[in-house]
Amino acid sequence: MRPSLSPAWTSCTGSGSVNSRSANLEPLGQVRPKSGARCSLLVPNQIANPIPRPSPKFAAQPVTASPRLFSRRACLVATGVASFSQIAAHSQAAGPVYRRVVVDDAWTGADIRFDAVIVDDIVYVGYLNAERCLTLAAVDLTNNLVTRTSLSGPLPGYDAHREVRIFADRFGVLHICGGMHADPLIYARLSIGAPLGSLSIANRMTGSGEDAVTYPRFATMPNGDVLFGYRNGRSGAGETRFKIFDGASWRDPSDRPVLGEHHGRHHSSAYPFDPQFSPDGRLSLAWNWRRNADVATNYFIGFAQTSDLQTWTDVNGRSLDLPISETSTAVVDAVNEGSGLMGPPRLGFDPDGRPLLTYLKFDENGSTELYLAAPQAGEWGIEKLTAWNYKWALSGYGTTRPEISTNPITPNRRGGYALRYYHVVHGQGELELDSNFVITGDRKPTAPRSADPFHEEVPKGFRLRQSAIPGGEKGRALLRWITQFADGDARPDCTDARPLGCAPPSRPIALLIRD
């Protein structure tokens, strides 16, 4: 199981699958609802003129709906108290007590990342329900009341790119976005604490560059505003863009994308790691370029930073024209196509705030090894860290299972650094490095993984996913759901190894609550 990444963002690149972003269709088309499915036509004024029902603390934010939403099918609100069979408790001697609360039945056909956040005693969960409608649920932890509403009609395909993001900001607004792969923006917001019936489904922020969205990300800026990053376009012809929410409305910090799609005589797109705020508050961005959707066309590592999202510089403070190109001084390592570059690079910082980039590429012997790039005397110093002597020759299209993955490098308490990894041959571990980035140890997990107290039934060829839910007391809640292993974003055949692959069953998405 891959460790989680990037605590500053709501996303986690370590999802257990590799897509066109991280190593990187057969779309199924519109799905006809089954008998009794929760899909129906929305009443237009339900969305265009939502009736705000704010909590005592927060005022609702009115949003104008996109007209194209009315032609979509969507799911009706389903409200109710979880029955006794939906709630289970487990305790260990002298240990914590856990509650398992079923949120809904969820789609399992694609290895999609779902999301959740805790605000006071409410858990908000974003997911695709059994009919593949993008759905928001609110779970009241004081009485196990579960309410649900949906933002979209059934989404097509077995596409693991259709991740879901939820974010609670300091203004008392909940944001939900997801279910897109080069599709028009699906976005809504809600006053925290308000009934889900007052959810404002806008499907727009500023309306600029929002017609082919993938990889949505939310973050909190140093001043408390909300930062939203995403790609608009497709692999090989996409732009990296940012928006800012100030509590009242969204705005474009620049009239141009940060990373553009056209360079010279050919098209490319950038695959950035989740942007990070450096210790001095600057937004830092590390990425690799890709020629097209084939991961083997990854090339060139880049880095840039900004204090205002308008003026961007390289690591030495030299200004960069927008959109940043592959020919600029932002280039860190000029890796060629076909060199085993598995992006995007992971971005960390040393104790002085200098950026540290780690990434995978072939060494001189053709092995896939881990490399470090760090600024040294006005240049980027490149060092090979590992000697794994294993080649991960990934190529092709779509989402696949990873053979190697890493976290960003981080300072440790001993004056050196630590870096967690997963390797198909060497297993999980944590590399220990000294202050000169020389590996001094490789710590392996010692405690065996405890048995699942709730005995989740996982079909053959599927996996149980679990993630910690941010907000509230650390470790208070976990989100659990079941997905099919990634298989190139195409509908797999039913085989002995995956008997239900071509007809994936719905399975519960649930909370584990520590009382």
* Helix and strand totals (H; E) in the chain: 1, 38
Confidence of residue 457 (pLDDT cuts 50, 70, 90): confident
Place 485 in a pLDDT band, splitting at 50, 70 and 90: confident
Q: Where are the beta strands (DSSP E) in 307-416?
A: 312-313, 319-320, 331-333, 342-349, 355-362, 368-376, 379-384, 404-406, 410-411
Q: Which amino acid is at 481?
A: W
- What Rg do the C-alpha atoms of the chain give, in angstroms? 22
| Residue pointed to by tokens 């001189």 | 364
In this prediction, residues 326-350 reach a mean pLDDT of 93
Tens digit of each residue's pLDDT (9 = 90 or more) over 183-237: 999 999 999 999 999 999 999 999 999 999 999 999 999 999 999 999 999 888 8
pLDDT band at 487 (very low <50, low <70, confident <90, very high): confident
| Residue among 211, 209, 35, 179 nearest 113 (CA) | 179
Q: Is the pLDDT of residue 8 over 80?
A: no
Range name among 77-86, 115-124, 399-408, 440-449 with the lowest pLDDT average: 77-86
Q: Using 50, 70 and 90 to split pLDDT, how confident is the model at 131?
A: very high
d(CA 289, CA 302): 8
**Three-class secondary structure assignment of 444-500:** CCCCCCCCCCCCCCCCCCEEEEEEECCCCCCCCEEEEEEEECCCCCCCCCCCCCCCC
The confidence band for 60, taking pLDDT boundaries of 50, 70 and 90, is very low
Has residue 24 got a pLDDT over 50? no
Architecture of 98-344+385-392+451-514 per CATH? 5 Propeller (2.115)
* Closest among 20, 354, 42, 340 to 199, alpha carbons compared: 42
- Under DSSP, the state recorded for 56 is S
Q: Which of 71-80, 253-262, 365-374, 469-478 has the highest mean pLDDT?
A: 365-374
Q: Distance (Å, rounded) from C-alpha 177 to C-alpha 39? A: 19
Q: Work out the average pLDDT over 421-428.
A: 95
